[in-house]
Amino acid sequence: MINNLKSKITDKSANIGIIGLGYVGLPLAVEFAKAGFSVTGFDNDSVKVSEINKGASYIPDVPSKDVKDIVSSGKLSVTSDKSLLNKMDVIIICVPTPLRKTKEPDISFILQAAEDINSNLRKGQLVILESTTYPGTTEEVILPKLGGNGLKVGKDIFIAFSPERVDPGNKKYKTKDIPKVVGGVTEVCTELAKVLYSQIIKEVIPVSSTRSAEMVKLLENTYRIVNIGLINEIALLCNKMDVDVWEIINAAKTKPFGFMPFYPGPGVGGHCISTDPHYLSWKARTYGFETRFIELAEKINSSMPHYVVDRIIDGLNSQKKPLKGSKILIVGVTYKKDISDMRESPSLAVINSLIEKEAKVQYHDPLVSNFEIDGLSLNSIDLTKESVSSSDCVVIITDHTVLDYKLIAENANLVLDTRNALKAFKGNAKIIKL
Ligand SMILES: NC(=O)c1ccc[n+]([C@@H]2O[C@H](COP(=O)([O-])OP(=O)(O)OC[C@H]3O[C@@H](n4cnc5c(N)ncnc54)[C@H](O)[C@@H]3O)[C@@H](O)[C@H]2O)c1
């Protein structure tokens, strides 16, 4: 069974099924298809299914041309029909892992995927979970579902966890360039997962268990949230001390060892940094353990949108204007630059607070033409001399590369720059930095 599956993987005749074709699943499907595998994507979203089958990509990092080529050559097809899972030799789960309102893990999408696989399970399949989740999920949730029907794990079926590390918008590191960590339920499961990913990724790092592989991802994202929390706190202090935090970071990062730069900002967002550490905190609590660094970083990071609003109020005040009734132009609303993802974006908290305080809020984002906030629909306005100069304050929340910063710097009455995007315009008294 093992050797059969291994040779199917190495000669690329293995059928690969990917459940969930979002920011993670679609790039992965494309890589396997480009490597010569026959890939079937499974998604519940009928719009995504029809888009891909038409050869159109909805993920900016994945060119439509790539999708068109592999769809027309028959290497990639997408369906909502889960019965086809039975035909797959390898099944990779890339479904969302959000938080509930109570900030507790919502693993319902993983549970649904596991049930779909279980209903279509057969001998000789390798199942890999890639969704970010708390350590223990694969063995506590997937294993009992799939291993409970007489099939022996490590002999008849194979189960592993491999964290996804994709960084949307990153031009240098794409799915195939990022080393992949794998941990199986048994050694054979690890070995098979290693052989699989080695077909599309240069470096694969095996670890001793699924639990370790799950923990690797949460360490990586906890490291980020804690360091962002630290630098945000330093930014608050620097403002009080009238020291430029951006200058400090740029000088500190010249140290060739022992320092890695993180940058302050209006808060954290996205589907990873603002979510994943809560998965770890939640699991830690089941061990009676408190993850104090995560709690503190979360507290600081979630205070940043309020701090941004306070700085807008201070800036307007220095020009003898109240926030109430002032025109505020928000530039960039996504959670980070050069992507269109608004999930958990700190811009939402900033805009909400400004609207609550009765400011007149408009926004410009070249990647988001409209969105809804608390039942209110907002449309992106053009970034023009007129729209900038007629605003009482321009607030740069997301520093997209394509934005015309010269236009902003030269025409704004006041700018709050939360990303140091206007670093080239030194000495302009109308620009205040975070
Ligand atoms: N987006 C990132 O930058 C990133 C990076 C690393 C890891 N992750 C993790 O990867 C996982 C997926 O994230 P994403 O950003 O790709 O999510 P996404 O929302 O972009 O995509 C998930 C897809 O899964 C589909 N889906 C949900 N349940 C399904 C089911 N039962 N069957 C079939 N399809 C189903 C949805 O329709 C959607 O298209 C999450 O655990 C996330 O934390 C995301």
Distance 93 CA to ligand 1 centre (A): 9
Distance 276 CA to ligand 1 centre (A): 13
What's the CA gap between 171 and 58, in Å, rounded?
17
Ligand 1 pocket mutation, candidates 118, 167, 271, 345, criterion most atoms within 8 A of CB: 271
User: Measuring CA to CA, which residue among 143, 124, 123, 121 is closest to residue 3?
Assistant: 124
60 CB less than 6 Å from ligand 1? no
Return the pLDDT at 149: 73
Read off the pLDDT of residues 379-411 as tens digits, 9 standing for 90 and up: 999 999 999 999 999 999 999 999 999 999 999
Mean pLDDT, to the nearest integer, of 340-350?
94
Read off the pLDDT of residues 169-183 as tens digits, 9 standing for 90 and up: 888 998 889 999 999
Q: How confident is the model at residue 2 (pLDDT cuts 50, 70, 90)?
A: confident
405 CB less than 6 Å from ligand 1? no
Distance 327 CA to ligand 1 centre (A): 37
Distance 58 CA to ligand 1 centre (A): 13
Return the pLDDT at 59: 87
| Overall pTM > 0.95 | no
**Structural domains of the chain ordered from first start:** 2-208 (3.40.50.720), 224-433 (3.40.50.720)
118 CB less than 6 Å from ligand 1? no
Q: Which helix (H) or strand (E) element contains residue 331?
A: strand 327-331
Mean pLDDT, to the nearest integer, of 131-157?
92
Mean pLDDT, to the nearest integer, of 244-259?
97
Which of 251-267 are b and which e, b meaning 16 or more Cβ less than 10 Å from the residue's Cβ?
Answer: eeeeeeeeeeebebbbb
Cβ neighbours of 212 (radius 10 Å): 14
∠ CA(372), CA(133), CA(352), 5° rounding?
Answer: 20
Count the helix, strand and coil residues of the chain and give each as a percent rounded to the nearest 5.
40, 15, 45
20 CB less than 6 Å from ligand 1? yes
For the record, the structure tokens of 305 come out as: 């949108």
137 CB less than 6 Å from ligand 1? no
Residues 161/208, Cβ–Cβ less than 8 Å: no
Q: For all residues of the chain together, what is the average pLDDT? A: 96
25 CB less than 6 Å from ligand 1? yes
Protein residue closest via CA to atom 23 of ligand 1? 20
Catalytically active residues are: 272
Percent of the chain surpassing pLDDT 90: 92
Return the pLDDT at 169: 83
Mean pLDDT, to the nearest integer, of 246-264?
98
